[in-house]
Structures are given as structure tokens and as C-alpha cells.
Copies of this chain bind each other. A is one copy, B any other.
């Protein structure tokens, strides 16, 4: 197994990436291909005792930064001879020199680079950005969390098909329950997009459980929740923000007196489980579903542990032949849907 890790992705790059590559190469004995400015990476690696023989460096002088956007970003993503880590890394996947690409860098950059260089799975129009949301028990696959602010019903159906494959292959869910995010449970609730998508999902052959509200999502009623990229992004960022608001306030209040400090010390095990619940490092990374290749994106704040977990989930995707399963599911379900919807 050969996994490309963008050495210049995370906010604190490239140290977390180098150490994560070392750890992953040791743990999994896979080849980890670090893509980045070779000399800089070599200097750091030289300072490390006994670097793993399973690490290979591939030079990429340029970087897509968090500030890159619009035309500049599109050009960096698209240009044939682009020398940024994402373009170089994704080309390794394209050329069959690696099985998957992992980055904790600019999400829009990874999306654009993957889209231009790998294209989409046949039958898919729009790739969806996937998130794993911690829920009451386990995780819920949510997409799209930001790639497509405006979606058509068929895009949402494709997200449902792909999300179900992901939940099955990676989370081990049998007949994953697919829900449509809405402002009310009953069929007929929702905005126009939701109302137009509902009958298509009913006819899709997926285990469609109908509309789900935000409340039910976090209660774990569905394994996969699908939505447009605008709503999904607001869902992601606002719930992250509320979790942070509560934990920040709690921390502040707990440190406000000797009594509460002592209480916090005693109650520490309880806080650890909260921390685990809302820590993006637990999940590691989530895929761009619909891209014709395996591309996983982690949080910008990823540390070594998060990046090792990102590589871990990417390995699972390779091992379970996720890409092939996605291609097959899209082909079969779309054919069956067309047969039903346009008789």
C-alpha cells in the first residue's frame, strides 16, 4: 500500500506530517510518500533517529496556502506543470504510483486539485465533501459539508448512494440508514430542494428513512445524512462552534475558584470523554466522495495523532476497495432509478 501524505497541509506543517509519516510507516509498514520541499524535509528527517525505510520523499516546491482562492487557486489546481504539493501528490495517484492522497491543507484547494486532475466517477456530476459527525453512539456520515453550495436533487441522490457505500465499507454498517436533512420529519416538509429530492431517494433502492432533523442526526437515527453543501457547511461550523462555546465556558468556570478547580480535577475522567467526542483528531480525515480516486482531507489543526488516524482511515478505504464499490453503486443505482423514474 502506497499512501501520499501532503507534507505541507496542517497549520503546523511539516513537523506533524513527518512524525505521522514515521509512525504510520512503522505501524502499518506501508510506503508513505511525503510530498513537499525536498531539502526542507530532508533536513528535518536527518535530525530524527532511525527514520523509517518505508518513507519516500517526492519534491514539490510550491504550496496551496489557506489564502489561495478564486482564479489563483483554480490555476494552482489545474495547471499541468503545477509544482504544489497537492498537484504533485494527486498526480502520483493519477499515474498509479500511489493508492491514495491525504492532506490537512486547504479544503477548497484539495477539492479543486482532485476535481481537475482525477475527474469524477462516471455518473457523478458533483463530488461531495464528507464529514463524520460524532453522535450519541458512533458516527454519522454527512455530505455535502461544503463543496456545492447549490445542489440539484440528483446531486443529493448521488451523495446518498456514495455516503451509504462509505458507511458500509468504513463504518461497517449493514444496509446503512440514509436520511435527508430537513426542517421537519414528515414527508412534504423541507425546502423545494428537499421536497424534490425525497421521491428520488424513495425510488433509489437505498435504505431511505425519510427526513431527519438536526436533533435526530445527533441522536444517531441515521448512518448517513445528506444535504446541500451550504446547509451542511453551516451545520458543521455551527455545531463545532457550540461545542467549543460550551467547553470553553466550562473550562473558564472550572478554573474560577479553588473549589471548582478541585472538582474539575476529580471529574477529569468525565471531561476526557467529552474531549474525545468533539476532537476531530479521533476521526482523522474524511474523503471527497465522487472524485475518481481516493482523496482524504483532515482538519487544518491536525496533529501527529490526527494524521496517523487520517492514514488509518485511508488504509481502510484502500483495503475495502472503496473506490470500486462507489463506482459500482453509482452505476447500478442510477440505472435502476432511471428505469423507475422515467418509465
Contact = CB atoms under 8 A, between A and B. Distances in A.
A219 interface: yes
Interface in A185-222: 186, 189-192, 194, 213-215, 217-219
Contacts of A81: none
Interface string A234-257: 111111111111110110011011
Given A136-B245, A231-B230, A270 B263 contact: yes
A228 B191 contact: yes
Contacts of A243: 242, 246
Interface stretch (A29-37, A55-63, A118-126, A273-281): A273-281
Interface in A268-292: 268-271, 273-274, 277-278
A237 B260 contact: no
A233 interface: yes
Interface in A164-178: none
A-B complex: 6 closest residue pairs judged by Cβ atoms: A214-B238, A263-B266, A263-B267, A253-B270, A214-B237, A183-B233
Interface in A146-168: 146, 149-150
Contacts of A238: 214-215, 217-218, 235, 238-239
A246 B183 contact: no
Given A135-B245, A240-B215, A254 B267 contact: yes
A245 B246 CA distance: 11
A215 B271 CA distance: 22
Contacts of A189: 149
A181 B186 CA distance: 26
27 contacts: A149-B191, A149-B192, A183-B230, A183-B237, A191-B228, A213-B233, A213-B234, A213-B237, A214-B234, A214-B240, A215-B240, A218-B241, A218-B244, A242-B242, A243-B246, A245-B277, A249-B273, A249-B274, A250-B270, A253-B273, A253-B274, A260-B266, A262-B263, A262-B266, A263-B264, A263-B267, A263-B270
Contact of A270 (B184, B213, B233, B254): B254
Contact of A241 (B215, B233, B237, B245): B215
A333 B130 CA distance: 41
A88 to B, nearest CB: 27
A189 B150 CA distance: 11
A244 B216 CA distance: 12
A259 interface: yes
A151 B249 CA distance: 35
A254 B263 CA distance: 11
A197 to B, nearest CB: 13
